[in-house]
């Protein structure tokens, strides 16, 4: 029996993880759950899964939850509590599914404690990739990617990296794959969040629409598979059936295919090196539309190009990119800026901050704070 701690339990990844847990109650038990402020949904999860510890983001929601759940469940709040449950002696596996920079510290805590870290929070590697990978190596942690693309590459590389030429991440293209650039000027937040294949939160849905999500995945792939930007490729694949591919020097290409359902990836991360039933139907290619592939339009999807540029620049550039993107997306979702202003704000922020090396968590946090300040100033220019 493995004890699971889910950071970000009320989101879509949390839902899928708990769905797999429910299918295999003989193999997995929920030890701890965390959420932002949705105490009503957390109440339901507590009643069903009976965790030992629950963490909410603030004291008010923690107190509200404490009034309505079993008194034997310990309720904590704040970022330090997230670190506590991620590194707890009774935690075996950690699902890191908190969106954005807010999930970085707890992911790092899990790695330092030698846990199996099932990483759905790509920002942990974008902001502090060198620190994270060092913590994994130094403490004997297991880092298993939960993004469908990185899981696909991880699976394809199980036979080794001998002769590896490049890896290729697929991208659905989101809702605007075939939308002309000029038509994107008037896009609304609801339109940007209407992903054709995946059900996701609003922030990550916008990232998919701008292709920043894929850009962050390129950076994540750099750290996970120890490859330079030149050996990482992106291809548009609107059906989301081929999740990614690896190319070898002998001309061979290996790909991982499956229906677009995160339970497949999550069950693999939980059961690795074995496989268990995920509850996902088997892929039937005869019942699918033809599979299409296109090169990315880097003029329309400028965020993807900015991510490649930041990766090549190295140091704090990737953290700057992420911070500026979080600020820009938040203001777009609040109707303060236009959709096409998101990459402009990111580019202005990148150009304004000196490139330096990242050597500690403190330097990551300081750069993140500075980048957010400058991005906010750029937002005011457009707003």
Residues belonging to the binding site for NADPH are: 10-13, 38, 121, 123, 201
Binding residues: 10-13, 38, 121-123, 147-149, 172, 195, 201, 208, 213-214, 217
Annotated binding site for Mn(2+): 147, 149, 217
Q: How far apart are CA 359 and CA 357, in angstroms?
A: 6
Long-range contacts of 357-362 (CB under 8 A, 24+ apart): 357/315, 357/316, 358/128, 358/130, 358/131, 358/315, 358/316, 358/319, 360/131, 361/105, 361/108, 361/128, 361/131
Q: Which helix (H) or strand (E) holds 131?
A: helix 123-139
Residues annotated within a binding site for 1-deoxy-D-xylulose 5-phosphate? 122, 148-149, 172, 195, 208, 213-214, 217
Region of 274 on the Ramachandran plot (φ > 0 left; ψ -120 to 50 alpha; else beta): beta
- Closest of 67, 102, 101 to residue 81, by C-alpha: 102
Residue 228 DSSP SS3: coil
CB atoms near residue 18 (< 10 Å): 22
Q: Other CB atoms closer than 10 Å to residue 47's CB: what's the count?
A: 12
């Amino acid at each position: 029996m493995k004890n699971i701690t889910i950071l970000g339990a009320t989101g879509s990844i949390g839902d899928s993880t708990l769905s797999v847990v429910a299918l295999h109650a003989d193999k997995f038990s929920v030890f701890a759950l965390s959420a932002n402020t949705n105490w009503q949904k957390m109440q339901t999860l507590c009643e069903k899964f009976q965790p030992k510890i629950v963490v909410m983001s603030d004291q008010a929601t923690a107190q509200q939850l404490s009034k309505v759940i079993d008194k034997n469940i310990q309720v904590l709040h704040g970022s330090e509590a997230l670190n506590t449950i991620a590194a707890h002696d009774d935690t075996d596996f950690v699902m890191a599914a908190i969106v954005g920079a807010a999930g970085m510290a707890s992911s790092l805590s899990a790695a330092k404690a030698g846990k199996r870290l099932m990483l759905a929070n790509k920002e942990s590697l974008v902001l502090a990739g060198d620190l994270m990978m060092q913590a994994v190596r130094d403490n004997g942690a297991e880092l298993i990617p939960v993004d469908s693309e990185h899981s696909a590459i991880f699976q394809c590389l199980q036979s080794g990296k001998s002769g590896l030429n490049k890896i290729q991440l697929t991208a659905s293209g989101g809702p605007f794959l075939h939308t002309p650039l000029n038509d994107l000027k008037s896009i609304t937040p609801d339109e940007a969040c209407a992903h054709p294949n995946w059900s996701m939160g609003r922030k990550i849905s916008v990232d998919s629409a701008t292709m920043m999500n894929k850009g962050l995945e390129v950076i994540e792939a750099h750290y996970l598979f120890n490859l330079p930007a030149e050996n990482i490729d992106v291809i548009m694949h609107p059906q989301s059936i081929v999740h990614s591919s690896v190319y070898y020097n002998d001309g061979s290409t290996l790909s991982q295919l499956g229906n677009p359902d995160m339970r497949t990836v999550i069950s693999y991360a939980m059961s690795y090196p074995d496989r268990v039933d995920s509850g996902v139907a088997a892929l039937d290619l005869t019942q699918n539309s033809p599979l299409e592939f296109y090169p990315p339009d880097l003029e329309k999807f400028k965020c993807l190009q900015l991510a490649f540029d930041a990766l090549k620049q190295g140091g704090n550039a990737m953290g700057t990119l992420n911070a500026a993107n979080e600020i820009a997306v938040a203001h777009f979702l609040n109707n303060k800026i236009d959709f096409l202003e998101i990459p402009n704000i990111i580019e202005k922020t990148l150009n304004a901050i000196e490139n330096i090396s990242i050597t500690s968590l403190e330097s990551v946090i300081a750069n993140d704070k500075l980048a957010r300040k400058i991005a906010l100033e750029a937002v005011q220019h457009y707003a």
